[in-house]
Amino acid sequence: MATVKTPITELDFDGIKSQLKTYLQTQTQFKDYNFEGSNLSALLDVLAFNTFNNNFYTNMAINEMFLDTAMLKNSIVSHAKELNYLPRSRKSARAQVIITISNEAETAQTITIPQYSNISATYLGDTFNFVTDQAFIAKRIAVGVYQTDTITIYEGQMLESFQREGFIVDSEGVLRVALSNDNVDTDSLVVFVDAEATDNQNVFTLARDIYGVEPTDKVFFIEPYFDDRFSVYFGNNNFGQQPEEFEDVRVRYRITSGAEGNGITNFTASFVEGASITVETVVASLGGAEREGIESIRFNAPRALQIQERAITTKDYEILLKQKFPEITSASVYGGDELDPPQYGKVAISVYLSDDTTIISQTLANSYIEYLNDRSPLSIEPVFVQTEYVYADTTIDISYTSKLASRTASELESLVRAAVQTYSDDTLEDFDKTLRISKLSTALDAIDTSIQSTSIDVKPIIEYAPALNIKANPRFQFGQKLIQPYAFNIGSDSFTGYKPAIKSSPFDLNNVCVFIQDDGVGNIQIVSEDTLNQQVIKPIAGTVDYETGEVKLVDFVVQKFSGSGIKITANTVDQDVKSPKGRVFIIRDTDVVVNMNLIESKSATINTSKNYT
Amino acid sequence: MPTAVELFTPVTKKVNLYSDFRKDLLQSPLSADIVILKDEDAVKDSIKNLILTDPGERPMQPFLGGGIREMLFENITPATLKLIKDKIKTTIELYEPRAELIDISVKSNIDDNVVSVIIQFYIINRQQPITLDVILERIR
């Protein structure tokens, strides 16, 4: 009996009880272990339950001990704290506005808009409050009319804590202030020590690290507390001044609705009595974000430790930007030597927010650069490069059968277009992405059983919006090998059937509608759009490199173009289209052509036989 | 003197098919070991345990038990007695495979505030019927 090994591999109740029964099979004294009514079975239940409980608690405790396996947010936050990582709190959406105050009775040269002035907004049926984070001056621009520059306002409401309930003094005498609200935007924290309730003196400011902090500096630090709350603590007279035990510590902060405050454009305000206030939106609110989630903390905390708030490699820049600015979906960072013309000693930064915000405002770009300036090496200067895009000229042929069609052709086409947009949203819309034809084709095949086959042809489009009537030498990099056509020979039927590697949409030049195309030997020519008398207007307007996909135009002048820009399309060797460096790949619905081909009933029979050869 | 037949007939030792301990872990005064319930007694004790157990009482086995204790707070009517009988029958059939039921009799003794249950059953592969008396009464 003693030699029999009792298996100890099971962790759940039934498994453990079964193992105990297996053990009892080796003895003859008590045989009723298999009958639920027996006293022995009742004892086995208790033993198995106790073992199961121990297993559960041990498993939970060990899981929670490691960042990789912890399930509870409080545990993950605690591990992140060890890595000196501060999980992101809720973030206020911020909007850029110009405030105009009209008050005929006012004669002063300026009007001061106080700090924390409230501005209201209604969006999708909800009411939001925005506040100014500092005082602004509105200058007189006409009699009784005062206007600010473009200012930033933040979604949320200012709260002030006068309570001492949240104060904790631990055994080492370290004073902490636990913030009672879990909707705090930690960027808005201001701490006052031993100041009157109405007094803004003795202000302590947030320190993100201890470098350069003197024992007498008035700084505070933040750390995650628990249940999504944060606490404020001080430097214990080593890394910052420590308030005395009974000094009154007040904390002022903004509570926010997070991501719900994004996209707001209509604001109203009435903070100056007797005046009419107009709020003009320059940039709609963005940047509002929820608290950092469990998986995000698990991913970012070790990486934040690696980069140590310093931007050295390109990945460092990307991680820092995405950490600080939650509105950034992706970032592309590369050396200034790759810019055209090269800018040595600089690092180029482009960011992608969303397909609703394709142009990044100068103010926003400045905020990104300002943040990175303090974190990049002394000799490296970050420069913002406006985000560029590559689109896809997509032609989709769908063959479908009427036998299995539960939907009409137009319904199917709508579904195909929706599937293409979903593919673009989920798979593309980022830097360095590749449109895989087979993946898109699989997604389209799965839309409806009536779809028998799909054929997809994709050509990359780069859009160029030149300043009108000004000579320029633009360069476009498709970054892929192009299909070099046969050499173009001017003749009567030379345009018929010619398939250029590069072709543009029409634009006006000297009152003639023209487009550009390559000539098969590496030159870009300008050709008239007139179908009856088509001719080459300028045989050499630039060059194209068929190996690298680089197009250079020389002394290029445009008189007029339609739409958002001239579309330059490339015919690439690879069917899968890759986004060139520093460009975000997007499929626009306007660039998609869907041809629905109905297969006749005879050929629509589905062959269900299988060959096993 | 033993007869020749008795001498050459092997003596069979009775093998106990079922054995359990008492739930009060009573100690034998002779051997100082715990008392073992065998065969018929083990099955009777098991049935008694089953019908007096309430569902949810045993850890991780939420459906085990007769659940008749809750019935004791009902008015004693023929319907209640029938319900008690059905519950006992179902419980034994589900959880006690060693017992083959013959009859269950549930009678009320209103004067003493008790319900008397008499269960008659066979143990599988045994021929003698066994009777088990259980008195159900409220403890408060």
Size of interface A-B (CB pairs under 8 A): 67
Q: Are residues A207 and A269 in the same domain?
A: no
Q: Is residue A325 part of a domain?
A: yes
- Find chain B residues with C-beta within 8 A of A21's C-beta: none
Which of B13, B14, B19, B20 to mutate: most A Cβ within 10 Å? B20
Is residue A59 located within the same domain as residue A32? yes
Tell which wins on pLDDT, A279 or A359: A279
Across the interface, whether the CB atoms of A45 and B46 are under 8 A apart is answered no
Q: For residue A315, is it within any domain? A: yes
Q: B64 contacts in A (CB within 8 Å)?
A: 36
Which residue among B47, B58, B97 sits closest to A42, beta carbon to beta carbon? B58
Same-domain pairing of A175 and A209: yes
Q: How far apart are CA A156 and CA A92, in angstroms?
A: 6
Q: Which of A29, A37, A40 sits opposite B95 (nearest CB)?
A: A37
pLDDT tens for residues B60-81? 999 999 888 888 778 888 999 9
Q: Is residue A585 part of a domain?
A: no
Judging contacts by C-beta atoms under 8 Å, the chain B residues touching residue A32 are 18-20, 42, 46
Q: What share of chain B is helix, strand, coil (3-state, %, to 5)?
A: 30, 25, 40
H helix runs in A101-159, sequence order:
none
Chain B residues lying within 8 Å of A39, measured CB to CB: 20-23, 37, 45-46, 49
pLDDT at A563: 85
Q: In this complex, do A30 and B19 lie within 8 Å of one another by their Cβ atoms?
A: yes
Peptide bond into A341 cis (omega under 30): yes
**Three-state DSSP state, A72:** coil
Which of residues A63, A78, A103 is at a domain's end?
Answer: A63
Q: Does A310 touch chain B (CB under 8 A)?
A: no
- In this predicted model, what pLDDT tens digit does every residue of B96-108 receive, in sequence order? 999 999 999 999 8
Model pLDDT for residues A88-126, shown as the tens digit of each residue: 999 999 999 999 999 888 888 899 998 889 999 989 888
Sorted by sequence, the CB contacts under 8 Å of residue A200 that are 6+ apart come out as A192
Same domain flag for A377 and A500: no
A601 band by pLDDT with thresholds 50, 70 and 90: low
Q: What local confidence, expressed as pLDDT, does residue A570 receive?
A: 92
What's the pLDDT band for B136 if we cut at 50, 70, 90?
confident
Distance from CA of B15 to the nearest CA of A (A): 11
Tokens of A560: 């007029």
Q: Which two three-digit tokens encode residue A4? A: 């029999």
Q: How far apart are CA B139 and CA A240, in angstroms?
A: 69
Return the closest-CA partner of residue A193 out of A151, A252, A238. Answer: A252
pLDDT band of residue A604 (cuts 50, 70, 90) is very low
Contact state of A29 with B19 under an 8 Å Cβ cutoff: yes
Contact criterion met (CB below 8 Å) for A386 and A360: yes
C-alpha angle B131-B46-B102 in degrees, rounded to nearest 5? 35
CA distances from B67 to A41, B23, B42 (A): 18, 19, 21
User: Position of tokens 């100890």?
Assistant: A8
Determine, for residues A39 and B95 on separate chains, whether the beta-carbon distance falls below 8 Å: no
Select from A16, A24, A31 the residue whose CB has the most chain B CBs within 10 Å, as the one to mutate to test that interface. Answer: A31
User: A611 pLDDT exceeds 50?
Assistant: no
d(CA A432, CA A474): 22
CA dihedral A66, A68, A74, A80 (to 10 degrees): 90
CA distance to A294, A444, B28, per residue, from A433 (Å): 27, 19, 81
Q: Quick check: B59 and A49 CB within 8 A? A: yes
Same domain, A470 and A548: yes
Tokens of A431: 């830097």
Q: What residue of A is the nearest CA neighbor of B41?
A: A38
Note the pLDDT of residue A606: 46
Q: Is A374 on the interface with B (CB under 8 A)?
A: no
B49 min Cα distance to partner chain A (Å): 6
* Contact at CB, B20 and A32, closer than 8 angstroms: yes
More confident residue, B21 or A210: B21
Q: Per-residue confidence at A139, pLDDT binned at 50, 70, 90?
A: very high
CA A291 to chain centre: 15
Tell me if A483 is assigned to some domain: yes
pLDDT mean over A280-309: 88
> In terms of domains, do A246 and A281 share one?
no
**Same domain flag for A263 and A150:** yes
Same domain, A126 and A263: yes
Distance CA A563, CA A341 (A): 28
**CB-CB: which of B21, B59, B96 is closest to A37?**
B96
- pLDDT score recorded for residue B73: 79
For residues B56 and B30, is the Cβ–Cβ distance under 8 A?
A: no
Q: Is A550 a member of any domain?
A: yes
Is A590 inside a domain boundary? no
A250 and A328 fall within a common domain: no
Would residue A101 be called left, alpha or beta, if left means φ above 0 and alpha means ψ between -120 and 50 degrees? beta
pLDDT band at residue B54 using 50, 70 and 90 as cut-offs: very high
Asked if B47 and A40 come within 8 Å (Cβ–Cβ), the reply is no
CATH code at position A354: 3.30.300.200
| Residues of the domain holding A146 | 94-156+259-286
Give me the residue from A30, A36, A45 closest to B20, CB to CB.
A30
Average pLDDT, whole number, for chain B? 87
The length of chain B is 140
Among A352, A370, A386, which residue terminates a domain?
Answer: A386
Reported as type and span, the H/E element at residue A399 is: strand A388-401
- DSSP assignment of A176-239: EEE-S-TTEEEEEEEEEES--TT---SEEEE-SS-TT--TT--EEEEEE-STT-EEEE--TTTS
Minimal Cα–Cα distance from B46 to chain A, Å?
4
DSSP string, A144-188: TEEE--SEEEEESEEEEE---TTEEE-TT--EEEE-S-TTEEEEE
Chain A nearest CA to B110, separation (Å): 29
Whether B9 shows a pLDDT value over 70: the answer reads no
d(CA A443, CA B25): 68
CA-derived radius of gyration, chain A? 33
3-state helix, strand, coil in chain A (%, to 5): 20, 35, 45
CB A195 within 8 A of CB A176: no
Work out how many domains chain A is built from and give that number.
5
Predicted pLDDT of residue B8: 65
Note whether A152 and A163 are same-domain residues.
Answer: no
A36–B59 C-beta distance less than 8 A: no
Among B16, B42, B61, select the one facing A38 at the smallest CB separation: B42
Q: Inform me whether the pLDDT recorded for A330 exceeds 90.
A: no
Q: What's the pLDDT score for residue A608?
A: 40
Q: Which of these three, A368, A386, A404, is where a domain ends?
A: A386
Top-ranked range on mean pLDDT: pick from A238-247, A348-357, A521-530, B92-101: B92-101
Of A38, A45, A52, the CB nearest to B46: A38
User: Which chain A residues touch B18 with a CB distance below 8 Å?
Assistant: 31-32, 35
Closest residue in B to A12 (Cα) is: B60
Q: How far is A71 from A224, CA to CA, in rounded Å?
A: 17
B60, A52: Cβ pair inside 8 Å? yes
Q: Tell the burial category of A268 from Cβ atoms under 10 Å away from its Cβ (0-12, 13-18, 19+).
A: exposed
For chain B, state the CA radius of gyration: 19
- Mean pLDDT (chain A, rounded): 85
Q: What percent of chain A has pLDDT over 90?
A: 27
DSSP string, A231-284: EEE--TTTSSPPPPTTS-EEEEEEE--GGGGTT---EE---STT-EEEEEEEEE
Q: Are residues A201 and A275 both part of a single domain?
A: no
Are A22 and A45 contacting, i.e. CB atoms less than 8 angstroms apart?
Answer: no
Segment A416-429 shows an average pLDDT of 89
Q: In the 3-class helix/strand/coil scheme, how is A430-472 assigned residue by residue?
A: CECCEECHHHHHHHHHCCCCCEEEEEEEEEEEEEECCCCCCCE
Q: Which residues of A207-217 are buried (b: 16+ CB within 10 A; e: fewer)?
A: beeeeebeeee
Instruction: Round to the nearest angstrom and report the end-to-end CA distance of chain A.
Output: 57
CB-nearest to B60 from A13, A37, A42 is A13
The distance of B39 to chain A (nearest Cα, Å) reads: 10
Q: At A244, which amino acid appears? A: E
The pLDDT of residue B90: 95
For range A270-281, the mean pLDDT: 87
Angle at the Cα of A206 (from A202 to A208), degrees rounded to 5?
150
With an 8 Å Cβ cutoff, are A39 and B47 in contact?
no
* Integer Cα distance of A56 and A237 in angstroms: 44
Residues 9-68 of A with CB under 8 A from B: 13-14, 29-32, 35-40, 42, 45-46, 48-49, 52
User: Among positive and negative, which fits the CA dihedral A34, A39, A44, A46?
Assistant: positive
Give the model's confidence band at A1: pLDDT under 50 very low, under 70 low, under 90 confident, else very high: very low
Q: From CA A326, how far away is CA A290, in angstroms rounded?
A: 9
Give the relative orientation of helices B39-52 and B78-95 as an angle to the nearest 10 degrees: 130
The verdict on residue A105 lying in a domain is yes
| Predicted structure pTM score | 0.65
Tell me if A455 is assigned to some domain: no
Q: What is the model's pLDDT at position A169?
A: 61
Query: Looking at the structure, do residues A128 and A214 belong to the same domain, yes or no?
Result: no
Q: Give the helix/strand (H/E) hosting B83.
A: helix B78-95
Task: Give the minimum alpha-carbon distance from B78 to chain A in angstroms, rounded to a whole number.
Answer: 28
Strand partners, A596: A398
**More confidently predicted of A445 and A602:** A445
Q: Which structure tokens are listed for B54? A: 């309430």
Residues of B in contact with A40 (CB under 8 A): 20-21
